[in-house]
Structure 1
Amino acid sequence: MFNKPSVLAVAVAAASLFSAGVQASGFKINEQSASGAGRAFAGSAAVANDASVVFFNPAGMSRLERSQASFGFTYLQLEGSFDGVRTNPTGMVTSDTAEAGVYNDGGDFMPDKVIPFGYIVHKLDDKAAVGLGIFAPFGTATDYKSGSLAGGFADETQLSAIDIQPTFSYQLSDTLSFGVGIDIVYAQGLLSKELDLVPFGAPGATDPQYKGYENKFEVKGDDIGYGWNFGVMWDASQATTLGFAYRSEIDFDLEGKSEFKQSEGVLGYADPDGATGPIPPGAYPVDGNTGKVDKQDSRVPLTGPRSATFSIAHQFDDRLQLLAGATWTDWSSFKYFDVIATKSGIIDDLSGLGENYIGHIVEKWHDTWSYSVGAEYSLNQDWTLRTGYAFDASPVKDEHRTARVPDNDRQWLTAGTTYNLNDSWSFDAAVAYLFIDKSKIDEYNYDLDDDQKGADNLKGEFDVNALGLSFQANYRM
């Protein structure tokens, strides 16, 4: 029996705030350059084609011949679908009971996105350069249809983040350059889930009005985080360049409000005095005689992982350049995703987790490597063609996959081109198609000891597809 409505535990999922910006695993985004996208970002830390080198390896800024600016955007056409079943808190599989037909499959829960970026590099002299980049390092947006099977674990997820990165680069010798940068990142997020406050099928709760969800929980927050990065480029020979780029962790404490969207006349299901069944507004543990649940101050601690990229670029002949690279990401630092009350209130009491926790999600991600290979071919003075292939491993363990992050390994094929209009202007375009493995899910709620909490469950399979179109303009000063 439910001493407190355990279904009110805010089961927001870990990568929920930061789930895969679909062109990268975890919650990373790869949409920072159209010229890089054309070769699947192979060799990006070992080349300096344009001002986007500010992001990929600031060491390359001093290698640019002139001051220049690059700006553009990526349009992501996304599609996600779910096929599965829900088990409600009484242990009733909804597709096999009187609740059959009450829920939907969530529809296409991945909206299309446009992700902008911009960079500027100013050459101080032949050896030194300063730069500034503005881009999205991570982010996500998923939105299930109201009343979905997944709604008890994930309804809407939104994260937007903007990184303002000042950088400096210096050419130490004819073959070696280095660069450093500071990351100033503003992030804001929204998470919501639907609430089955009075589980249909529990003793005293067989009235049709208790079918489906009765309310909705939402938490919003924002914060500014700080990090740093550095890189080196070394010409191992006249034809071959090696590059290394490192990015530090960035910690966030997204502070904001948690709330029930229908805060008046809230029903719950509890056993305060040995009685069972639905309880009216004003009964334990809802506040006063109005059934009111006030907003509650809360915070969401998150850490953006550190990463290291190794790249090689080899000029095969006057026209063809071959590129390759690998990136390690420290996802194992991401073990939990929590929503924690910062002031006393009702919502954390309703969650039944204790210690002021509103939500606690076990993630326990693992470190990953991604790999890419690509090529650039100078067709003539005006046109350069590109192509690439990448394999990007998911950090999500099968046993902890969540409805907010139906992430899995992906492979992607890319093609792109550069057109040089004149001595000052050039334009890049790229297309990337992702082949993403289908993802199985078997999600439960957990207590603070990481033990399964309640019978609420989502089981099934996700199918996600993605197509990216990138455009970029470059102005050489």
Structure 2
Amino acid sequence: MISTKNLLRSAIIAAAVAPAVSMASGYKINEQSAAGMGTAHAGRAAMAEDASVVFYNPAAMTQLDKAQISGGFTYINGYGEFEGNGTDVAGNQITGANDSDPFNDGGNFLGEKFIPFFYYANPISDKLAVGLGVYTPFGTETNYDENFVGGGFADETSLISLELQPSIAYKINDQLSIGGGLDIIYMEGTLSKSVDSVPYNQAVNDNIGSGVVLGNPEYQGFEGFYEVTGDDWGVGWNIALHYQLSEKTNLGVTYRSEIDVDLEGDSTFRDNTFALYNNNGTAADPFDDTVTPVPVQPQASKVPLTTPESLTLSVTHQATDKLLLQAGATWTGWSSFQNFDVIATERATPNQADGLDISDISYGDGVTGLDAGYIGHIDERWVDVWAVAVGATYQLNDQIKLRAGYAYDESPVRDEFRTARVPSSDRQWLTFGAGYKVDQNLSFDLAAGYLFMYPMDLSEINKQNDNTPTDSKASVTGEYEIDVFGLALQANYQF
């Protein structure tokens, strides 16, 4: 059996959630151009092929001859599979290995997504250029099936962002240009998980005592559900250099700053109730364990999030009249993400007349082990990473370009800190693409890419604010396999 105090502790602490797997490392998105995707984005900060240069290197806008727009989308189709087992808050074994079990392996927790992008660049003089980018720099969406064996650690994660990037560039001389701009970002998140406060035990299902008992089929699987939603605006900046080393070789450097956001919204339990397990069993009737629905008011809360800074280095070399070689490396400062917290911003019902405050359990009363005002905490300890890419563009004829690329992207998630929210490991990209020039002003780009990761292990438990384990006996262990396919389409028009 398990005490009420421990059940409350495990249910509320474990209600924190974190970002999930995405196309690039962490929750970063690389899909800002079909032409770029064709070469695994290699060398893009050193070239000005179309208006998407606003994103890759705004300084290179000075290399464009005419005002132009580029727009399109990337289609992502991912498949994620988990195989494993777990324990509930009482330490009972749970598994999704067969259809008779109330739990499951979560199904395909990835899915389909369209990621749009749009750019405008205008060289208004020989030395000055301006531009605007509208795209998605960060985002992810995963959703496990109901009663996923690790549902007490992760259910749904949805992070959506939209960035406006006004930019300006100035050509200092024939070789060197400098540029930069603002990164104005809107982010919206919905993060949820199941809550196991009444551990199910099949052995007592035939020994029902008085009241609602532990073995009641109503409490097979997870009987509770927690969700936090929020949104916010943030502002950062970027700066870039473009240098023409020779007639055949170009260099590019782009830096992007961190952006701080507080995703402010509400933390809620399903139907605003929490199933409180009461251990009333006695020697005479060990199965007399009742469950009391306790009202829980929505709690105003925030999820602090700092997007990582990054530095991209690129080079292109015109090897022949037809063949352009491309290479690049990007450093991303994911070490800014050490912990993931859900923090109460105000008390919902100070006198508790209408029920239990989520945050009341964490206002220094010693129940959760968290600091005052904290609703949930996850230990992440991400690290800084590098991604490298090589690619080539071949001019087949006056109308058609062929592209290919390969990228290796380190994961910021260390094996010992991997969570069901971020089942991530180092990943590799193989991409192919083509460009078609309709006339002097109109062209199209198409690209396809396949991402694969090595199988990765998961072993997760709940932790307190000091990153030590809680009293909860809940855990999930197993192995992930993830594959992702991407298809991108882009149109370009010069004025």
Normalised to the residue count of structure 2, the TM-score between the two structures is 0.90
Structure 1 residue matching 2:60: 3-state secondary structure: helix
In 2: Cα distance, 1:97 partner to 1:151 partner: 15
Shift of residue 349, structure 1, vs aligned partner: 3.6
Corresponding residue for residue 88 of structure 2:
88
Structure 1 80/99 Cα, relative in aligned 2: closer, same or farther at 3 Å?
A: closer
In 2: Cα distance, 1:121 partner to 1:13 partner: 42
In 1: Cα distance, 2:99 partner to 2:461 partner: 20
Shift of residue 279, structure 1, vs aligned partner: 5.3
Corresponding residue for residue 484 of structure 2:
466
CA deviations 1:411-439 (Å, max 9, x no partner) are 11111111110011000000001121112
Contact 2:15 2:195 in 1 (8 A): no
Matched AA of 1:216: F
Asked if residue 450 in structure 1 is aligned to residue 451 in structure 2, the reply is: no
Q: Report matched runs for 1:35-184 at 5 Å.
A: 35-95=35-95, 101-184=101-184
Contact 1:12 1:361 in 2 (8 A): no
Contact 1:183 1:229 in 2 (8 A): yes
In 1: Cα distance, 2:301 partner to 2:122 partner: 42
1:343 aligned to 343, 346, 349, which one?
346
Shift of residue 44, structure 1, vs aligned partner: 1.0
Shift of residue 238, structure 1, vs aligned partner: 1.3
Asked if residue 306 in structure 1 is aligned to residue 306 in structure 2, the reply is: no
Corresponding residue for residue 318 of structure 1:
321
In 2: Cα distance, 1:198 partner to 1:342 partner: 28
In 1: Cα distance, 2:261 partner to 2:418 partner: 22
Structure 1 325/281 Cα, relative in aligned 2: closer, same or farther at 3 Å?
A: same
Q: How high is the sequence identity, in percent, across the aligned residues?
A: 47
Contact 1:4 1:270 in 2 (8 A): no
Corresponding residue for residue 248 of structure 2:
239
CA deviations 1:5-25 (Å, max 9, x no partner) are 2231253666x33x3322x11
Structure 1 residue matching 2:416: 3-state secondary structure: helix
Matched AA of 1:328: W
Matched AA of 1:152: G
Contact 1:20 1:139 in 2 (8 A): no
Structure 1 98/467 Cα, relative in aligned 2: closer, same or farther at 3 Å?
A: closer
Matched AA of 1:329: T
In 1: Cα distance, 2:303 partner to 2:338 partner: 14
In 1: Cα distance, 2:289 partner to 2:439 partner: 73
Bigger Cα displacement from structure 2, 87-96 vs 146-155: 87-96
Corresponding residue for residue 27 of structure 2:
27
Matched AA of 2:404: T
Structure 1 99/211 Cα, relative in aligned 2: closer, same or farther at 3 Å?
A: farther
Structure 1 199/62 Cα, relative in aligned 2: closer, same or farther at 3 Å?
A: same
Q: Report matched runs for 1:280-429 at 5 Å.
A: 280-281=291-292, 291-345=294-348, 346-350=357-361, 352-354=368-370, 355-429=372-446
Shift of residue 270, structure 1, vs aligned partner: 5.7
Q: Report matched runs for 1:161-240 at 5 Å.
A: 161-201=161-201, 205-240=214-249
Asked if residue 261 in structure 1 is aligned to residue 270 in structure 2, the reply is: yes
Structure 1 198/74 Cα, relative in aligned 2: closer, same or farther at 3 Å?
A: same
CA deviations 1:7-54 (Å, max 9, x no partner) are 31253666x33x3322x1111000000010000000011011000000
In 1: Cα distance, 2:16 partner to 2:412 partner: 14
Shift of residue 402, structure 1, vs aligned partner: 1.0
Q: How many aligned positions are there?
A: 464
Matched AA of 2:358: I
Structure 1 residue matching 2:413: 3-state secondary structure: coil
In 1: Cα distance, 2:378 partner to 2:156 partner: 16
Shift of residue 93, structure 1, vs aligned partner: 1.4
Matched AA of 1:428: D
Matched AA of 2:227: E
Bigger Cα displacement from structure 2, 436-445 vs 352-361: 352-361
Corresponding residue for residue 286 of structure 1:
none
Structure 2 residue matching 1:7: 3-state secondary structure: helix
Corresponding residue for residue 287 of structure 1:
none
After superposition, the CA RMSD in angstroms is 2.3
In 2: Cα distance, 1:173 partner to 1:298 partner: 51
Shift of residue 405, structure 1, vs aligned partner: 1.1
Q: Which runs of 5+ in 2 are unaligned?
A: 205-212, 349-356, 363-367
Matched AA of 2:93: V
Shift of residue 60, structure 1, vs aligned partner: 0.8
In 2: Cα distance, 1:80 partner to 1:261 partner: 27
Normalised to the residue count of structure 1, the TM-score between the two structures is 0.93
In 2: Cα distance, 1:230 partner to 1:159 partner: 26
In 2: Cα distance, 1:113 partner to 1:418 partner: 23
